[in-house]
Each structure stands twice: as C-alpha cells, then as structure tokens.
C-alpha cells in the first residue's frame, strides 16, 4: 500500500464501541474506575477494533532492523556488525525481547529494512544496506524515506490480515540512539544535549563526540521541523522510518500499536506530525530511561503505563505492557456484574 493511500484510511476510533465498553466496566462488581489505566486501555482497544468484544489472543512484536552510516564517526561503543548478529538472534528466539515475548504470548517478526549486509532475514523490505553517514550527507533520499515508511505500513496490514489483534514496536540498529536524538532535537526544538544520552554505553568523551556529530549534522542539513519526511530523510534511520509506517499502517488497518521506548517514541512523534489522528491508535508502554523519554511522551500527550527505568530497546518495554492488558481484559470479560450478584451498584459521585 502506498503512503498517501494509507493516510486516507485513518479515521477516528468507534465512539459507540468505546461507550459500550465503558458501560460494561461500570457494571462490573468492583469500585468504579478502580483499575485506572487498565480500564482505559481496554476502552481504547474497543474503539480501535470497533467492538466492545475486545480480543487480544494474537499479539505480535515487529522489530525493524537497520544500520546507520553515522556509526563511522565513532558515536557508538559497538560496531555495525552487531546489528546483523542480533537480528539473526531474533530468528533463533535467543534475544531478551524474544524471551519476554514468549512469556507474554506474542510472536516476533524481525524485519530487515536496512541491515548493512545480507542475513537469514528476508530481504523483501530492505531499502538499502544501511543509511549514509548523516554528518557527510543526508542519511537517505526522500524517496527512500517514503519507501521505508511504506514497508512499515504494509507490515501492519499483512499482520492484520493474518489475524493479529495488537502490534508492539521494536528496533535493532547500532547507532540508532544517535539518529533518534537528532530527530528528537529537531522535532522538539531543543538543544542536542537535552535529548542525547549514552545509548548502549558510551564514555563521557564518547557522549561529547556523539553530541557534536548530531549538532553538526543538523547544522549542515537544516532539516525542516515542519516537514517530518525531511527530518527523517536527513538525520533519521530506516528502522525509525519503518516504525513510523507501523504506526500509520496500524491506524489505517484499525490495529493498536504499542510504543516502546526512546527510538519508538521518536517514530511515534514523526507519525503524529504526519497524521494527528494516529494518536488514538497508539498505546504507550513505559517511560524510557533515555534523556528524551519523558520529553517525547509529553510531546505525544501520552502517559506511560510503566516506569521501570528500562532502556534496552528491541520492543522490550512494549512487550511488558501485554500482560497488563491481558489482566485488564480478563477482568473485563470474566467478572460478574453488580446485577448478577444482586448487590447495589456503585454510583458516580
């Protein structure tokens, strides 16, 4: 599906289904609204799916995998080769995210959208063998950025057609906290140092170099903060673009999409700036420990379900939301109403 076609399909969630869901919650024999965000989450899912009969039995974690040319500037502790190794580990279900996904009853779908070499992952969504070095030239062309977004859109529709009810977003790409910090600095109109952290473990000198590289890249290419595609193409990454597509495609296909941490949050903000209606289909999971974690959620106007000081990425925070939603849905679906147990219902005060 093309980018423009997907945007035309994004509509507000079903208000009637949300009202029916809220009415069901209020009829359950417990104090009103006492499960807080768990109730709100199920109501949101009802609106997205267009039915008060909410289903979550098929869950997917999509991990967008890509390399970033800016790694050659010494902004990371690891080399780009790690991207390919970890991406193949996803296939073998050996990663942290995969172990958590198995525990949460979710299937894992790693996507090669721009790994620097060929791997055992399919190449049908690969845009290029990594982005360019954004300090020297734009990370990608505008056309590549749109193609990467479309890869994410199509992934969302493919999973919807396969019967999945909710998507979690993840990423793998050495150097992607550098690109995400660059995008965040532009979109939030903040100094680079305010949104840049040590990523997977930089020294103080390494952090200074990372900040300097990001600042000079922004100064050189002058990305337009009012044009999300321009920002993405000049200082972003293919993994970020793919996740943008997951948010847009999820909204177009009427699928809830869970925001992970910093990198996923950057993609969510790009998607929101492209089409504000997608916000109703986004579900925040946790507040990343990365510098810009809270700043991004504030910009999105969302509050996290979890605050666990996590910053691993790969979708680990997004996956951690699934058991909470399952518990909320179990209460919503199984608990008796006030009428059924013949006691007086709580009344709003």
Which pLDDT tens digit goes with each residue over 84-94?
A: 999 999 999 98
Alpha helices in the chain (DSSP H): 3-9, 15-27, 37-49, 81-91, 96-104, 142-161, 176-188, 192-195, 204-221, 228-235, 238-253, 262-274, 293-300, 316-334
Q: Give the model's pLDDT for residue 349.
A: 66
Q: How confident is the model at residue 342 (pLDDT cuts 50, 70, 90)?
A: confident
The share of the chain scoring above pLDDT 70, in percent, equals 100
- Judged by average pLDDT, the poorest of 35-39, 201-205, 263-267, 327-331 is 201-205
Contact indicator for 280, 188 with CB cutoff of 8 Å: no
Give the model confidence (pLDDT) of 8-56 as tens digits: 999 999 999 999 999 999 999 999 999 999 999 999 999 999 999 999 9
Mean pLDDT of 107-119: 98
Mean pLDDT of 205-231: 97
Q: Give the model's pLDDT for residue 295.
A: 97
Q: What one-character DSSP code corresponds to residue 113? A: E
Mean pLDDT of 136-160: 98
314 is catalytic: yes
Domain ranges of the chain: 59-323
Instruction: Give the Cα-Cα-Cα angle 228, 231, 232 (nearest 5 degrees).
Output: 85
Q: Give the model's pLDDT for residue 199.
A: 76
Set 150, 314, 339, 344: catalytic member:
314
Contact indicator for 177, 263 with CB cutoff of 8 Å: yes
Contact indicator for 145, 241 with CB cutoff of 8 Å: yes
Give the model confidence (pLDDT) of 158-204 as tens digits: 999 999 999 999 999 999 999 999 999 999 999 999 999 887 778 88
Q: Give the model's pLDDT for residue 197.
A: 86
Determine the CATH number of domain 59-323: 3.40.50.10210
Mean pLDDT of 326-346: 89
Mean pLDDT of 121-140: 98
pLDDT at 150 over 70: yes
Contact indicator for 168, 260 with CB cutoff of 8 Å: yes
pLDDT at 298 over 80: yes
Give the model confidence (pLDDT) of 50-108 as tens digits: 999 999 999 999 999 999 999 999 999 889 999 999 999 999 998 999 999 999 999 99
């Amino acid at each position: 599906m093309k980018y423009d076609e997907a945007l035309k399909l994004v509509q507000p969630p079903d208000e009637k289904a949300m009202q029916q869901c809220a009415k069901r919650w209020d009829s359950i024999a417990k104090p009103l609204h006492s499960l807080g965000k768990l109730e709100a989450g199920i109501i949101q899912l009802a609106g997205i799916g267009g039915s008060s009969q909410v289903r979550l039995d098929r869950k997917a974690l999509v991990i967008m995998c890509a390399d970033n040319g800016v790694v050659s500037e010494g902004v990371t502790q690891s080399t780009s080769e790690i991207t390919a190794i970890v991406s193949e580990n996803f296939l073998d279900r050996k990663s942290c995210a995969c172990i958590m996904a198995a525990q949460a009853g979710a299937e894992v779908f790693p996507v090669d959208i721009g790994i620097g070499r060929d791997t055992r992952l399919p190449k049908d969504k690969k845009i290029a063998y990594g982005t360019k070095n954004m300090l020297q030239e734009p990370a990608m062309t505008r056309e590549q950025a749109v193609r990467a977004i479309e890869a994410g859109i199509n992934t969302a529709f493919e999973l919807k057609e396969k019967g999945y009810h909710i998507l979690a977003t993840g990423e793998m790409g050495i150097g992607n906290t550098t690109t995400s910090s660059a995008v965040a600095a532009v979109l939030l109109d903040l100094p680079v140092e305010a949104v840049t952290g040590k990523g997977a473990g930089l020294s103080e000198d390494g952090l200074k170099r990372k900040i300097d590289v990001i600042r000079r890249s922004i100064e050189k290419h002058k990305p337009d903060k009012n044009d999300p595609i321009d920002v993405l193409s000049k200082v972003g990454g293919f993994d970020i673009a793919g996740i943008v597509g997951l948010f847009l495609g999820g909204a177009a296909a009427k699928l809830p999409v869970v925001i992970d941490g910093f990198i996923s949050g950057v993609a969510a903000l790009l998607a929101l700036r492209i089409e504000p209606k997608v916000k109703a289909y986004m579900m925040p999971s946790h507040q990343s420990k990365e510098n810009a974690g809270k700043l991004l959620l504030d910009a999105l106007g969302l509050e996290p379900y979890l605050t666990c000081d996590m910053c691993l990425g790969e979708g680990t925070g997004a996956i951690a939301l699934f058991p909470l939603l399952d518990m909320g849905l179990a209460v919503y679906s199984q608990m008796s109403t006030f009428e059924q147990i013949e006691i007086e219902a709580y009344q709003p005060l």
